[in-house]
Amino acid sequence: MSDPILVLSGVSKTYKNGFEALKSVDLSIRRGEIFALLGPNGAGKTTLISAVCGIVSFTGGTITVGGHDNRRDYKAARAMIGLVPQELTTDAFETVWDTVSFTRGLFGKSRDDAVVERVLRDLSLWEKKDSKIMTLSGGMKRRVLIAKALAHEPELLFLDEPTAGVDVALRRDMWEVVRRLRENGTTIILTTHYIEEAEEMADRVGVIARGELLLVEEKARLMEKLGHKELILTLDAPLSSLPPALADRGLQLAADGATLVHTYDTNAPRTGIATLVGDLAREGIRIRDLETRQSSLEDIFVGLVADKNQPAEEARP
């Protein structure tokens, strides 16, 4: 891999009222990857992005974008970045074409109608190019914000909750756009509440909570490492308790007695499913239905954030 496009070292941000929004964050983003930053509300996702883009000042550490310090050499650093903010903050009276061209100019690029046209077409905004922004739907406004961020052909694109409040069809479209951008070599950092978004698109995932970056991992490895599967068996007749022969299998019997859950490691040499099914048949337990469930990033995420919160809760007087 070539040199990282974005490096944060020891970045911290303490607001005047003493609130620590970022606690010494170290992060290195590779060129061309899609990085998903996951975290609950108020975790510091937006603050982190804003610090990189120059919208908030940070109190400690350094940030370099493509090797340029984002404070000393802010022009070179910012010229590489496109930002799609979380809020739908657009002008109202400008046309789509004007607002996208405006951003291109603002980022120091000379006028190039072909680029603006391509960006608008890619985002299905071409037909709306002469419409005033205030006449557009929320989803269209979101596209306009993305178009603005892409107007100066950035190498690094931040998408702050790009699909919050966006319907399913538009979300799929958005993912498609992100994939296409990645194919063109754009590095993408997105923050999201939707775990499925990270799961669907990211190469790597970072989890942030309370201003601390808890974990950065290849998505696949993360899923693998923490991944386990559950086999859920719906029984024909409820059991009052597990038969003694099955007692030490780690099976869980639901409260209503009608569901058995068998948890297994997908990477283990033996999953134990075949034996289990045989044993159940031998005990005369009939299965009506079965289902397997892969633990999702969400489970992993909730686990991580909860673990992290535990000591803090206890420490509280």
Per CB under 8 A, does 241 bind other proteins? no
> Which DSSP symbol is given to 17?
T
Burial class (CB in 10 A: 0-12, 13-18, 19+), 156: buried
Q: Which residue has the tokens 């061309």?
A: 32
108 binds other proteins (CB under 8 A): yes
* Residue 165 in the binding site for other proteins (CB under 8 A): no
- Output 112 or 173, the one with its CB closest to other proteins: 112
- CB of residue 205 to other proteins, shortest distance in Å: 25
Please count the CA atoms within 13 angstroms of the CA of 20 that sit on its side-chain side. 11
Q: Rule CB under 8 A: is residue 164 a binding residue for other proteins?
A: no
| Binding flags for other proteins, 116-155, as an x/- string (CB under 8 A) | --------------------------------x-------
Q: Which long-range contacts (CB under 8 A, 24 or more apart) does 275-280 make?
A: 276/231, 276/246, 276/249, 276/251, 279/245, 279/246, 279/249, 280/233, 280/246
Binding part of the chain for other proteins, among 75-83, 117-125, 166-174, 289-297 by CB under 8 A, reads 75-83
Nearer to other proteins among residue 92 and residue 274 (C-beta)? 92
User: Contact with other proteins (CB under 8 A): which of 23, 30, 31, 109?
Assistant: 109
Cα–Cα distance, 187 to 81 (Å, whole number): 10
CB neighbour class for 228 (10 Å; exposed up to 12, middle 13-18, buried from 19): middle
C-alpha triplet 182, 46, 154: angle, nearest 5°:
35
Strands 81-84 and 6-14: unpaired
CA distance 107 to 153: 10
Residue 97 touches other proteins, criterion: CB under 8 A? no
Beta pairing partners, 51: none
User: What φ, ψ does residue 95 adopt, rounded to 5°?
Assistant: -85, 165
From the list 68-76, 206-214, 238-246, 277-285, the region that binds other proteins by CB under 8 A is 68-76
Q: Of 5-44, which residues contact other proteins (CB under 8 A)?
A: 15
Q: Which stretch binds other proteins (CB under 8 A): 30-38, 73-81, 115-123, 210-218?
A: 73-81
Count of residues of this chain found to bind other proteins when the rule CB under 8 A is applied? 35
Q: Does 89 bind other proteins (CB under 8 A)?
A: yes
Under the binding rule (CB under 8 A), the answer on residue 87 touching other proteins is yes
71: contact with other proteins by CB under 8 A:
no
Return the range that interacts with other proteins (CB under 8 A); candidates 108-116, 117-125, 227-235, 275-283.
108-116
Residue with tokens 């000042």: 57
* Binding residues for other proteins (CB under 8 A): 15, 53-57, 74-79, 81, 83, 85, 87, 89-94, 98, 101-111, 148
